[in-house]
Structure 1
Amino acid sequence: MNISKRASNIKVSPVRKLIPYQEEAIKRGKKVYHLNIGQPDLPTPPEFTEFIVNSGEKTLSYAHSKGNLGLRLAMSKFYKENFDLDFNEEEILITAGGSEALLFVLTTIFDVDDEILLSEPYYANYNSFFEMLQIKVNAFSAKSEDGFHLPPKEEIIAKITPKTKAILLTHPGNPTGTVYTEEELKIIGDIAKEYNLYVISDEVYRLLSYDNKIATSMGSFPEYRENTIIIESISKTYSACGARIGAIVSKNKEFISQVYKLCQARLSVSTLDMIGAEGLYNTLKKDYFDGNRAIYEKRRDVIYEGLLKIDGVKVTKPEGAFYVMVTLPVDDSEKFAIWMLEYFDYEGETVMLTPAQGFYKTPDAGKQQVRISYCIEEEKIRKSLKILEEGLKKYNSK
């Protein structure tokens, strides 16, 4: 029996590609430190479960396809209190995580062979949606020596064609940890207005920015309100990846009315998860976010300073999220990452990395780079750095 080309053309996620090697390493008795995945290790706030338990739901019926009204009102209030953003409940659609939000946004905007513009390196799992929907990618390059900030405006415009429909930003960046300035966001907004493009702003890490930097939302600029679509999620904000609650947020009424059809087609999001998410949005305030940010910022400092001490390693200090792009003194980062799992251990322990080639559209770009996530405790970070240092020494002495 045949499998569709649509499914066959989707590549394995580079974030999860090495899982079979990791599983074999564990079977052989190695302890593996996971530097490969952005899974927050901080506890999910108990308010999530408490709201579900106290909800009094006797029958788990279908929820509204837009999402529970209480959750959408809570999000509207959250935006106003934390970011001074004015989005009402009719401008918010609840989705099964940020991934479904992006899938619905792309499906609504793009036809087959239309083009999307974005900065590389970019979140590799986007490619699955692009391939599924047969969207072509045009990427402009951001350089590590510039902190992966945007290139000059003319370099971005040079990538626009008559088939370009939208610019996709991840802000703060995954995999780079870059926090764009207001001036950079205005450049993107101006380009979008001039060329009649959407700006899809993936802002799931918005509350994780460091060194007193502020990750300004693309929704902060009234002049771009018709162009702007925001992707939201509770996964990183509240350490609730498994809850699968995201959102599409936009003041473009025509866009919202069209994407709502997709929400109706899949009926509704999990009622229980929406109740729990409403509890999070309604009860957790600035102190909670400040506390989480301080923990991740300290971890950022530990991993950045530790990487600087390893011979041959090049790294740019990330400004947000919980990732860092690292250039290693190796011939091929994927080969090295597999070797670390298959053949190397330091005192019975090894690390799992994410090779960076999958984060680039340009062939062979990122071949010596890895993305490292610092979603683990400081002591585990220090151990991981030692393992990485010893692994590099042995790999390069083969």
Structure 2
Amino acid sequence: MPKISHKGQQMPASPIRKLTPFADKAKLEGKKVYHINIGQPDIETPEGMLNAIKNIDFKVWAYTPSEGTLSYRKKLTEYYNKLGYNISPENIIVTTGGSEAITIGMMACLDQGDEVIIPEPFYANYNGFANQCDIVVKPILSYIDNGFALPPISEFEKLITDKTKAIIICNPNNPTGYLYSQAELDALKELALKYDLYLFSDEAYREFCYDGRQFISPMHLSGLDDNVIVMDTVSKRYSACGARLGCLITKNKEVIAAGLKFAQARLSPGMVEQIAGEAAVDTPDEYFTAVNKEYTQRRDTLVTALNKIEGVYCPNPGGAFYVVAKFPIDNADKFCQWMLESFSHDNQTVMMAPATGFYSTEGAGTNEVRMAYVLNNNDLNKAMECLAEGLKQYPGRVL
């Protein structure tokens, strides 16, 4: 029988989805499963976005330009320039989800064997994208004890070689919820300029900043125009994960030109999605105010409940809708599977994501778990009741 490729063998499975068979089995057994394993918001998609789809009137469902329709890119320009990005439609390539923005960015900027430094824990699929693009991830550990703050720049410099070409940040961070400060962004700017590196900025959670804290993008930093690659998506901002609509943004004309060739190879982003995305830009501010208030309440509910459980520590995140918590357990992968396979409390259990899948450093995160506060407060409280009981009963509990 022909063998699959080496790349196929090396491609990592999703740590977020790999426990799905166990969750499905638990449901077949009649258990209620609280899903806090994946960033699928339960917030309603903006009405204007849905109405735009309902009111579509075209006779041919045609290709769109490879870089995205001009009308959508103009609309996106309005959105980003309100944030102070100072861009034009020519700085944007519309992509099939944020995932394609990441892969196109990697392929346009990095060669086989090039190295990219990423603070970990990081979005698990970066590993998969790097595998697809034949580049090497060089992880740099951040720690739960200080809330997963950016590691010192001196630690970055220890990893830099002649193969280092880029740094990737996710801000606010998935999976930790950490929100980078002005000082941290300024330090990354100096590092990028010193070593002539690309600075990739995954901004999927830009709208989700709490406690009055402000989001800062590398696009706000002067003198960095040729280095910054922004990767974005409508998935989280508008609770439209199924739209699969994102974009790559850069003022570097060479990167846009190279990225467009990869975009042409996959032909075009979807027409219907761009129609919806164009309408989404007009979503009123009140929508985001209400969503921010809701997520702040959920964060407070989850973090408070977790820190009340004996042996659990969870820092209070400044953004996104995730937490990473440290549990008194021997192995996060075993524990999360055990919760689905062998445990129930009042015929209920919880699905979580082991944090090991968000690290590249072997052995890191073995007692940490990522949770997404994408359920209402009532369900979050019930999920935490289950979790507390599960931690009491788990055979691998570490005292």
Query: TM-score normalised to the size of structure 2?
Result: 0.97
Alignment of 1:133-144 (within 5 A): 133-144=133-144
Match of 1:274 in 2: 274
Cα distance in structure 2, aligned partners of 1:225 and 1:190: 13
Match of 1:165 in 2: 165
Q: Secondary structure at the match of 1:177?
A: coil
Instruction: Please state how far the C-alpha of 1:222 moved relative to its aligned partner.
Output: 2.3
Match of 2:250 in 1: 250
Deviations 1:209-231 (A, max 9, x none): 10111111111112111100000
Instruction: Please state how far the C-alpha of 1:79 moved relative to its aligned partner.
Output: 1.2
Q: Secondary structure at the match of 1:224?
A: coil
User: Are 2:46 and 1:84 aligned?
Assistant: no
Match of 1:105 in 2: 105
Match of 2:319 in 1: 320
One-letter amino acid matched to 1:127: N
Deviations 1:61-81 (A, max 9, x none): 110111011111111001122
Instruction: Please state how far the C-alpha of 1:396 moved relative to its aligned partner.
Output: 4.4
Match of 2:377 in 1: 378
Match of 2:23 in 1: 22
- For the 8 Å contact 2:332–2:368, the answer to whether it is kept is yes
Q: Secondary structure at the match of 2:334?
A: helix
Deviations 1:332-356 (A, max 9, x none): 0111111110110000000001001
Cα distance in structure 2, aligned partners of 1:256 and 1:341: 45
- For the 8 Å contact 2:331–2:367, the answer to whether it is kept is yes
Instruction: Please state how far the C-alpha of 1:5 moved relative to its aligned partner.
Output: 1.1
User: Are 2:193 and 1:205 aligned?
Assistant: no
- For the 8 Å contact 2:330–2:396, the answer to whether it is kept is no
Match of 2:13 in 1: 12
Cα distance, 1:397–1:270 mapped onto 2, change above 3 Å: closer
RMSD between superposed Cα atoms in Å: 1.1
One-letter amino acid matched to 2:225: R
Match of 1:362 in 2: 361
Q: Secondary structure at the match of 2:375?
A: coil
Deviations 1:369-388 (A, max 9, x none): 00000001100000000000
Cα distance in structure 2, aligned partners of 1:54 and 1:391: 48
- For the 8 Å contact 2:331–2:396, the answer to whether it is kept is no
Deviations 1:164-213 (A, max 9, x none): 11000000000010000011011111101110100000001011010111
Match of 1:388 in 2: 387
Q: Secondary structure at the match of 1:314?
A: coil
Instruction: Please state how far the C-alpha of 1:139 moved relative to its aligned partner.
Output: 1.4
One-letter amino acid matched to 1:65: S
Match of 1:222 in 2: 222
Q: Secondary structure at the match of 1:315?
A: coil
Match of 2:301 in 1: 302
The range that moved more, 125-134 or 249-258, is: 125-134
- Gaps (5+ residues) in structure 1? none
Q: Secondary structure at the match of 2:223?
A: helix
Cα distance, 1:346–1:190 mapped onto 2, change above 3 Å: same
Cα distance in structure 2, aligned partners of 1:28 and 1:246: 38
Deviations 1:315-339 (A, max 9, x none): 1111100000010001001111111
One-letter amino acid matched to 2:65: H
Match of 2:291 in 1: 292
Instruction: Please state how far the C-alpha of 1:52 moved relative to its aligned partner.
Output: 2.6
One-letter amino acid matched to 1:95: T
The range that moved more, 355-364 or 236-245, is: 355-364
- For the 8 Å contact 2:15–2:357, the answer to whether it is kept is yes
Cα distance in structure 2, aligned partners of 1:188 and 1:383: 41
User: Are 2:74 and 1:73 aligned?
Assistant: yes
Instruction: Please state how far the C-alpha of 1:2 moved relative to its aligned partner.
Output: 2.3
Q: Secondary structure at the match of 1:238?
A: coil
Instruction: Please state how far the C-alpha of 1:37 moved relative to its aligned partner.
Output: 0.1
- For the 8 Å contact 2:67–2:263, the answer to whether it is kept is yes
Instruction: Please state how far the C-alpha of 1:57 moved relative to its aligned partner.
Output: 1.5
- For the 8 Å contact 2:197–2:227, the answer to whether it is kept is yes
Match of 1:120 in 2: 120
Cα distance in structure 1, aligned partners of 2:226 and 2:56: 37
Q: Secondary structure at the match of 1:216?
A: coil
Cα distance in structure 1, aligned partners of 2:161 and 2:88: 34
One-letter amino acid matched to 2:98: G
Cα distance in structure 2, aligned partners of 1:46 and 1:311: 43
Match of 1:145 in 2: 145
Q: Secondary structure at the match of 2:159?
A: coil
Aligned length in residues: 396
Cα distance in structure 2, aligned partners of 1:52 and 1:175: 32
Match of 1:184 in 2: 184
User: Are 2:36 and 1:56 aligned?
Assistant: no
Cα distance in structure 2, aligned partners of 1:208 and 1:397: 35
Match of 1:347 in 2: 346
One-letter amino acid matched to 1:7: G
Deviations 1:108-134 (A, max 9, x none): 112111101010111111111111222
Instruction: Please state how far the C-alpha of 1:45 moved relative to its aligned partner.
Output: 1.3
Match of 1:45 in 2: 46
- For the 8 Å contact 2:324–2:370, the answer to whether it is kept is yes
Instruction: Please state how far the C-alpha of 1:56 moved relative to its aligned partner.
Output: 2.2
Cα distance in structure 2, aligned partners of 1:26 and 1:118: 37
Cα distance in structure 2, aligned partners of 1:318 and 1:59: 46
Cα distance in structure 1, aligned partners of 2:252 and 2:28: 52
One-letter amino acid matched to 2:192: A
Cα distance in structure 2, aligned partners of 1:396 and 1:302: 27
- For the 8 Å contact 2:329–2:396, the answer to whether it is kept is no
One-letter amino acid matched to 2:368: Q
